Amino acid sequence: MASGPRPQYRFIDIGANLTDPVFRGVYRGRQLHQDDFDAVLRRAAEVGVERIIVTGGSLSESKAALHLCRDQLTAGGDRQVRLTCTVGCHPTRSSEMESDPAGYLNSLRQLVEANRDLVSAVGETGLDYDREHFAPREVQMRHFRLVSLACQLRLPLFLHCRASHAEFRAVLSEFASQLPSPPGVVHTFDGSAEDAAELLAMGFYLGLNGCSLKTADNLRVVSGLPLDRLLLETDAPWCEVKPSHAGHSHVTPSSRFESRKAERWSPGCMVKGRNEPACILQVLQVVAATLGQPAEKVASAAFANTCRLFGLAEAAAPSTVEGDN
């Protein structure tokens, strides 16, 4: 897709892993093509993405996300897409917290407090019982208490839940009276209608991406969700809307970008299998069709919902990223 008239929609991608080396052309330690990060942002802007919340999946990744956001804020030139980020520790990385839980948590706190203008949420945090080979469930449960940081700092939570709804809900219920209002978003939501109802009753928003729209059952759940509690995301470079997914039939030619394998990449192309924030347009198309609503209405609602949840505001004056010692 080339540059053209003003985008039809306004988007905020609530979750993109932009610190991943693939956005610099590096795959499994090998440089397969030139750094095309700026092109990724340009494509996002062309479809109407105004802001991207970069996911912080660990202490080191949160620092990298903050540096990326600060560099983008202070750089000259085109800044059509504003970057903010989350600060946290993904459940599959929670073993990192084992040796010094208090110190790790305090380091996250310092990052947030030193960079409040760039931090939109505490997270990623949660439970993932599908991938216990990275961190056993008892370790994940111990460090899901990262929820307490959001309560203390009065920031929304950016949450991950996979194959663990009962325990996930139980932990959040413990903190119910302390959580900020609204409390946050369960991103990449792919649970049941019953799971959704319980989370919505607790005040949470639900983030939808390609992994939320894989199966006919997923689409049935999404069809019953309230429009005023949905957010849109890509989880790039993961969770693309694949041709094998149940919702892919709703993806129109207007949102299909030219792509090539990383080894054969050329400027102007996407990379096959590497999801990008611009592909949020495909998520919109599938969600709108599933809800039976005009895409304009869904995009507008998701944008307003995101602003309401994260209290997005203009950044303070640029400074260096602090708290990374």
- Residues 228/301, Cβ–Cβ less than 8 Å: yes
Which stretches in the chain have pLDDT values below 50? 1-3, 77, 314-322, 325
Only one residue has tokens 């999801």, namely: 275
Report yes or no on 318 lying in a domain.
no
Domain that holds residue 148: 11-310
pLDDT value for 316: 34
Report yes or no on 67 lying in a domain.
yes
- What is the length of the chain? 325
Residue positions in the annotated binding site? 124, 160, 187, 235
pLDDT value for 313: 53
Share of the chain above pLDDT 90, in %: 89
Report yes or no on 159 lying in a domain.
yes
pLDDT value for 325: 41
Report yes or no on 275 lying in a domain.
yes
Report yes or no on 6 lying in a domain.
no
pLDDT value for 79: 65
pLDDT value for 80: 82
Instruction: Output the domain CATH number for residue 204.
Output: 3.20.20.140
- Domain tally, the chain: 1
pLDDT value for 320: 41
- Residues 138/97, Cβ–Cβ less than 8 Å: no
Report yes or no on 290 lying in a domain.
yes
Report yes or no on 179 lying in a domain.
yes
Report yes or no on 315 lying in a domain.
no
Residue positions in the annotated binding site for a divalent metal cation? 124, 160, 187, 235
Beta strands in the chain (DSSP E): 11-16, 26-27, 30-31, 49-54, 82-87, 119-128, 157-162, 184-186, 205-208, 230-232, 259-260, 270-271
Q: What is the dihedral of CA 27, 28, 32, 35, to 10 degrees?
A: 50
